[in-house]
Amino acid sequence: MEAMEALPKEETLQLRQKHYGPSCKLFFKENPIKIVRAEGQYMYDEQGNQYLDCINNVAHVGHCHPTVVKACTEQMSLLNTNSRFLHDNLVTYAKRLTATLPDKLSVCYFVNSGSEANDLALRLARTYTGNYDVVVMDNGYHGHVSSLIDISPYKFNHTGGEGQKPFVHLVPVPDVYRGLYRENVPDVGEKYAMEVKHTIDAARRQGRKIAAFICESLQSCGGQIIPPHGYLREVYKHMREAGAVCIADEVQVGFGRVGSHFWAFQAVDDEACPDIVCMGKPIGNGHPMSAVVTTPEIAEAFGATGMEYFNTFGGNPVSCAIGLAVMDVIDKEDLMGNASRVGNYLMEGFRKLGEKHDMIGDVRGLGFFIGVDLVKDKKSREPATVEAQHIIYRMKESFILLSTDGPHRNVLKLKGPMCFTTKDADRVLVNLDQVLTEIESARTRKHALLPAKVEAASSNNTLEHAVCSYRKDVHSKRSGPIFTGSHTLSHDALFGNTKRPTDNDSDDDEAKRQKTWAGVD
Amino acid sequence: MEAMEALPKEETLQLRQKHYGPSCKLFFKENPIKIVRAEGQYMYDEQGNQYLDCINNVAHVGHCHPTVVKACTEQMSLLNTNSRFLHDNLVTYAKRLTATLPDKLSVCYFVNSGSEANDLALRLARTYTGNYDVVVMDNGYHGHVSSLIDISPYKFNHTGGEGQKPFVHLVPVPDVYRGLYRENVPDVGEKYAMEVKHTIDAARRQGRKIAAFICESLQSCGGQIIPPHGYLREVYKHMREAGAVCIADEVQVGFGRVGSHFWAFQAVDDEACPDIVCMGKPIGNGHPMSAVVTTPEIAEAFGATGMEYFNTFGGNPVSCAIGLAVMDVIDKEDLMGNASRVGNYLMEGFRKLGEKHDMIGDVRGLGFFIGVDLVKDKKSREPATVEAQHIIYRMKESFILLSTDGPHRNVLKLKGPMCFTTKDADRVLVNLDQVLTEIESARTRKHALLPAKVEAASSNNTLEHAVCSYRKDVHSKRSGPIFTGSHTLSHDALFGNTKRPTDNDSDDDEAKRQKTWAGVD
């Protein structure tokens, strides 16, 4: 299907600047992408350029999957109302969802977003335990509503954050690559779990009472972290001894993404079972829906207060039909098998690249949840923050959508639609190889310039500036496309006056930039 | 279109009891309705019975409106992704939405639910003012996430609530029928506004600093309250003098429901303009979406913290396409005009019934947002709580869906799909007339039984018990359908052994109930 854009890109951008919250950021701020259609793992811009999508973990079974669209249309034509009426879709979906989980996790609440799910999980935990405090993993992110900003170090400890509140207790990330205990420490899982025990004990000494421990089963924004075997069961044990309940935030990592299991907590520790599981993003392939699943005991305690929980849209027949369709597609197309196969293929590929490129420090993942930890060099493991941002921009030029995360923003994240193929994987690997080669080549020649700039990269703004300067250094020496601090330019645009096909700026702007950049090299 | 049920009703109910949170209540707990399809203002159960929907303010332009379904299907087949990519639907919708508002309200945030909208509004207000406290209207309800339970007296002051927190300040409901100042008090709006001023002053004396005043422009759960003219402008003035911002919660009452204006705050006070408007329920005709609109100044202050606001589903192209379609239908079908015409017709009808029935104490509303305040008698204005519950059950027997709300649960709420007709209105009026006549007739004969039972109706459970007993009193003397505490039975079922068409219980259960009830009359 061909999609037309209704407005010129520049007008879209201007209207957005006028009418949309400035806190809502665009990918590639300086030359954002306008996407008009998508299919499977591919997205298309207004000029018809095809992008390979490595990052949209929401379009789980593939963008615009016809089975999901059909389920939505059919149910939406028939009935879409609230859960105060009985409906078969709600109960069928609840039964199907709970069947993927350990028996004790049998009671659902259907909500609209991961944030609503995690907030409800906190309410359940606090009501059940009668306690208030929350233990969270450092760098964790659990959502955008007030109660979750409060328990997300990824937010409260960074720009614009209000810092840690007294009822929040942090535990270290069980990151065996750059954390407190590393891959060669014996019983590393127990050691990290013991840190949690210490946190609990410290909280108790202050007279605090813990309601919940919440962590993503695999930490996403925190840098694609796979906790070591044995960690989760030990943490859960310590938390339960402290009277707290254990919440698995599977919003980003659930629904078979890890390949081997439907839920990530099952994949990282076959003996760990949370008391509450929160689901979101992939659950409806883009349709706004989420869920919380818990035990009958916790659900009954919440119900026993007598306060009704009513969620206007949660559990409506359309959302449930979509949820069922997504599960159908995962099964019918063996997307978990595909995630395992392609994920392993990709990770092997990255590891092979790592033999050639000193910048690939660590390759980690499960199924199609993969992180490539970029470093200055393998020995120091110093995060290659600026380089990582550069790679993202360069991959965009090759029409590959990647992103970075982690506290140092140096970890490449791959978590695209589950229909990703080995051919797609090859496209990523070949392009990454090329960009790494370019960077290494430029570094060899201009090495002295780099360290100071990376150190300067402490805030977002400074980081952007550093990336910009770094790009200048790298690109002044190579022949590929080139980026500036405020614009994206191809080498040809800069030196040969040829406009990039995705560039939609006026010729005037183009001329200005050429002038600016003429003096750089 | 004919809809088949996938499961027998009893199995749906059992699965729901097993797999869905017990805090999530059903309408008509003792014999809930299973709805399988809907169209316009009509909903159909699994037996094909047609219910007239007077309560679903979410199905705003009519259940399953084909224009909305078409917009969803087309966009969902093309692209559904997050707002980090540029898309024309987002900006077109933002432009269209802000065009309905005063000029200064020009910046949107798209989210997934009224709760997300109100929570974000609090975050905006707190960031902009640097203050934390919130002034709310008594009986107000603003959503189900933690931060909103805290500021919703409808929740925190009732069963399972934790009471009022120190940062929350209550002001009286400007209810001119049963509030502090009544309809015959001169300058009643200013008087209620002065109460807000007193609250602000008291908070200040405690050293508290107010971030926001939030109220529904027309209070819904609080009992369908229409604030007196001049109230809102005065309150907003006092709040701004105190350094706070004013949030209009239009989640339940916006989008032309009041008929005369697109937003309820415009209808109740042409000189009041909030700083933040929160929208929800009707915005997507059932699709999970919501929005916050504010001023550039507040949006910039929020942006200036440097913290990104990312909402996974908010502002996706499908939600925006649906939002645009809903606005199209409102315009093309003149639903605001219809709301005015049918709303006025209904209110006139209720007032005429009020001349005949002493139980109709007050009829109030704007457009198709109507409340009928039921009383023991017009003079005392004592709320007719038990009777109101009875009426709801009796109307259900006539296949009319109504509900009650307000602190005494005695106010009949009418806020159904905006395509409601005068014929539908007649159906409501005729049936209500009949039920009121029945009640009055029974009361005349058995008057002594009533007062003690109403007094006993302090909690939900006690209320149900009281309703049950009351039903026995009423029905033992009349010939219409009859209800029991735990089941709904027709008169024929009780006395003539004929099963109700909507009843799906086993014959065994039926026999037991007949036995139980045989001794009652």
CATH number, position B433: 3.90.1150.10
Q: Which of A332, A350, A370 is the last residue of a domain?
A: A332
Instruction: Print the domain residue range for B187.
Output: 66-331
**Could you give the CA distance from residue B127 to residue A85 in angstroms, rounded to a whole number?**
39
∠ CA B79-B83-B87, rounded to 5°? 55
Digit-by-digit pLDDT tens for chain B (521 residues) are 456 788 999 999 999 999 999 999 999 988 999 999 999 999 999 999 999 999 999 999 999 999 999 999 999 999 999 999 999 999 999 999 999 999 999 999 999 999 999 999 999 999 999 999 999 999 999 999 999 999 999 999 999 999 999 999 999 999 999 999 999 999 999 999 999 999 999 999 999 999 999 999 999 999 999 999 999 999 999 999 999 999 999 999 999 999 999 999 999 999 999 999 999 999 999 999 999 999 999 999 999 999 999 999 999 999 999 999 999 999 999 999 999 999 999 999 999 999 999 999 999 999 999 999 999 999 999 999 999 999 999 999 999 999 999 999 999 999 999 999 999 999 999 999 999 999 999 988 765 444 444 433 333 444 444 444 555 555 544 433 333 333 332 333 222 232 332 333 333 333 332 332 232 22
Q: Is A220 on the interface with B (CB under 8 A)?
A: no
B180 and B229 both lie in a single domain: yes
Buried b (16+ CB within 10 A) or exposed e, B416-455: bbbbbeeebbebbbebbeebbebbeebbeeeeeebeebbe
Using a CB cutoff of 8 Å and minimum separation of 24, what contacts does A451-455 make? A453/A386, A454/A376, A454/A382, A454/A384, A454/A385, A454/A386
Contact indicator for A143, A195 with CB cutoff of 8 Å: no
Query: Is residue A351 domain-resident?
Result: no
- Is the pLDDT at A275 greater than 50, yes or no? yes
Task: Report the pLDDT value the prediction gives residue B468, as an integer from 0 to 100.
Answer: 47
3 state DSSP class of B340:
helix
B286 and B163 both lie in a single domain: yes
Task: Report the pLDDT value the prediction gives residue A84, as an integer from 0 to 100.
Answer: 98
Classify the phi-psi angles of B354: left when phi > 0, otherwise alpha if psi is within -120 to 50, otherwise beta: alpha
Give Cα separations from A76 to A88, A500, B7, B34, B284 (angstroms). 14, 42, 19, 17, 12
Which amino acid, residue A69? V
Q: Is the dihedral of CA B461, B466, B472, B478 positive or negative?
A: negative
Task: Report the pLDDT value the prediction gives residue A491, as an integer from 0 to 100.
Answer: 31
In chain B, the residue whose alpha carbon lies closest to the alpha carbon of A46 is B87
Give Cα separations from B207 to B125, B134, B204 (angstroms). 19, 14, 5
Query: What are the backbone angles phi and psi of residue A221, rounded to the nearest 5°?
Result: -55, -30
Query: Is residue A356 domain-resident?
Result: no
- Rounded average pLDDT over A494-507: 30
- Identify which of A9, A77, A122 has the shortest CB distance to residue B69: A77
A233 and A320 both lie in a single domain: yes
Residues A53-85 pLDDT 10s: 999 999 999 999 999 999 999 999 999 999 999
Chain-chain contact of A24 with B95 (C-beta, under 8 angstroms): no
Task: Report the pLDDT value the prediction gives residue B30, as an integer from 0 to 100.
Answer: 86
Query: What are the backbone angles phi and psi of residue B468, rounded to the nearest 5°?
Result: -60, -50
| Least Cα separation, residue A82 to chain B (angstroms) | 8
Contact indicator for A192, A180 with CB cutoff of 8 Å: yes
Chain-chain contact of A145 with B26 (C-beta, under 8 angstroms): no
Report residue B117 as tokens.
Answer: 């909208």
Residues A191-250 pLDDT 10s: 999 999 999 999 999 999 999 999 999 999 999 999 999 999 999 999 999 999 999 999
A131 and A217 both lie in a single domain: yes
Using a CB cutoff of 8 Å and minimum separation of 24, what contacts does A180-189 make? A187/A230, A188/A228, A189/A227, A189/A228, A189/A229, A189/A230, A189/A231, A189/A234
In chain A, the residue whose alpha carbon lies closest to the alpha carbon of B93 is A19
**Could you give the CA distance from residue B405 to residue A137 in angstroms, rounded to a whole number?**
43
Q: Identify the residue among B47, B105, B313 best suited for mutation to test binding to A, counting A beta carbons within 10 A and taking the highest.
A: B313
B132 and B242 both lie in a single domain: yes
Give B-chain residues touching A119 at CB under 8 angstroms.
Answer: 145-146
Q: Identify the residue among A312, A415, A458, A464 best suited for mutation to test binding to B, counting B beta carbons within 10 A and taking the highest.
A: A312
A46 and A112 both lie in a single domain: no
Q: Which of A332, A350, A374 is the last residue of a domain?
A: A332
**In this predicted complex, what is the ipTM?**
0.89
Task: Report the pLDDT value the prediction gives residue A39, as an integer from 0 to 100.
Answer: 98
Q: Is B63 on the interface with A (CB under 8 A)?
A: yes
A40 and A78 both lie in a single domain: no
Task: Report the pLDDT value the prediction gives residue B515, as an integer from 0 to 100.
Answer: 33
Domain count, chain B: 2
Task: Report the pLDDT value the prediction gives residue B466, as an integer from 0 to 100.
Answer: 46
Residues B467-508 pLDDT 10s: 445 555 555 444 333 333 333 323 332 222 323 323 333 333
Please give the residue that has the higher pLDDT: either B104 or A503: B104
Percent of chain A past pLDDT 90, that is, above it, reads 83
Report residue A462 as tokens.
Answer: 């400074």
B30 and B115 both lie in a single domain: no
**Could you give the CA distance from residue A511 to residue A517 in angstroms, rounded to a whole number?**
10
Q: Which of residues 316-335 of B touch A (CB under 8 A)?
A: 316, 318-319
Query: Is residue B128 domain-resident?
Result: yes
Q: Is A158 on the interface with B (CB under 8 A)?
A: yes
B50 and B83 both lie in a single domain: no
Chain-chain contact of A313 with B287 (C-beta, under 8 angstroms): yes
Give B-chain residues touching A285 at CB under 8 angstroms.
Answer: 80
Task: Report the pLDDT value the prediction gives residue A289, as an integer from 0 to 100.
Answer: 98
Chain-chain contact of B19 with A91 (C-beta, under 8 angstroms): yes
**Could you give the CA distance from residue B108 to residue B118 in angstroms, rounded to a whole number?**
13
- Rounded average pLDDT over A16-39: 96
- Is the pLDDT at A308 greater than 80, yes or no? yes
Task: Report the pLDDT value the prediction gives residue A514, as an integer from 0 to 100.
Answer: 33
DSSP string, A34-84: BEEEEEBTEEEETT-PEEEESS-SSSTT-BT-HHHHHHHHHHHHH----TT
Query: Is residue B311 domain-resident?
Result: yes
- Identify which of A90, A302, A312 has the shortest CB distance to residue B58: A312
**Could you give the CA distance from residue A152 to residue A80 in angstroms, rounded to a whole number?**
34
Contact indicator for A326, A68 with CB cutoff of 8 Å: yes
- Pairing type for strands B35-39 and B42-45 reads antiparallel
Give Cα separations from A3 to B224, B322, B325 (angstroms). 45, 17, 18
**Could you give the CA distance from residue B284 to residue A498 in angstroms, rounded to a whole number?**
45
Chain-chain contact of A312 with B281 (C-beta, under 8 angstroms): yes
Q: Is B276 on the interface with A (CB under 8 A)?
A: no
B346 and B294 both lie in a single domain: no
Query: Is residue A305 domain-resident?
Result: yes
B315 and B353 both lie in a single domain: no
What Rg value do the Cα atoms of chain B yield, rounded? 24
Task: Report the pLDDT value the prediction gives residue B457, as an integer from 0 to 100.
Answer: 38
**Could you give the CA distance from residue A403 to residue A306 in angstroms, rounded to a whole number?**
45
Please give the residue that has the higher pLDDT: either A279 or A496: A279
In chain A, the residue whose alpha carbon lies closest to the alpha carbon of B15 is A91
Q: Is A122 on the interface with B (CB under 8 A)?
A: yes
A149 and A287 both lie in a single domain: yes
Contact indicator for B79, A35 with CB cutoff of 8 Å: yes
- Rounded average pLDDT over A148-168: 96
Q: Which of residues 99-118 of A touch B (CB under 8 A)?
A: 106-109, 112-116
Give A-chain residues touching B84 at CB under 8 angstroms.
Answer: 25-27
The domain that holds A100 is classified in CATH as 3.40.640.10
In chain A, the residue whose alpha carbon lies closest to the alpha carbon of B302 is A23
**Could you give the CA distance from residue B190 to residue B80 in angstroms, rounded to a whole number?**
48
Query: Is residue A365 domain-resident?
Result: no
Give B-chain residues touching A66 at CB under 8 angstroms.
Answer: 77
Task: Report the pLDDT value the prediction gives residue B474, as an integer from 0 to 100.
Answer: 52
Give Cα separations from A233 to A129, A135, A209, A275 (angstroms). 20, 16, 21, 12
Taking every pair of C-alpha atoms in chain A, what is the biggest distance, in angstroms?
Answer: 73
Q: Which of A332, A357, A375 is the last residue of a domain?
A: A332
What Rg value do the Cα atoms of chain A yield, rounded? 24
Residues contacting B335, CB < 8 A, separation 6+: B60, B61, B256, B329, B418, B419
Give A-chain residues touching B312 at CB under 8 angstroms.
Answer: 58, 113-114, 280-281
**Could you give the CA distance from residue A394 to residue A396 in angstroms, rounded to a whole number?**
5
| Least Cα separation, residue B130 to chain A (angstroms) | 12
Dihedral of the alpha carbons of B29, B34, B38, B43, in degrees to the nearest 10:
-50
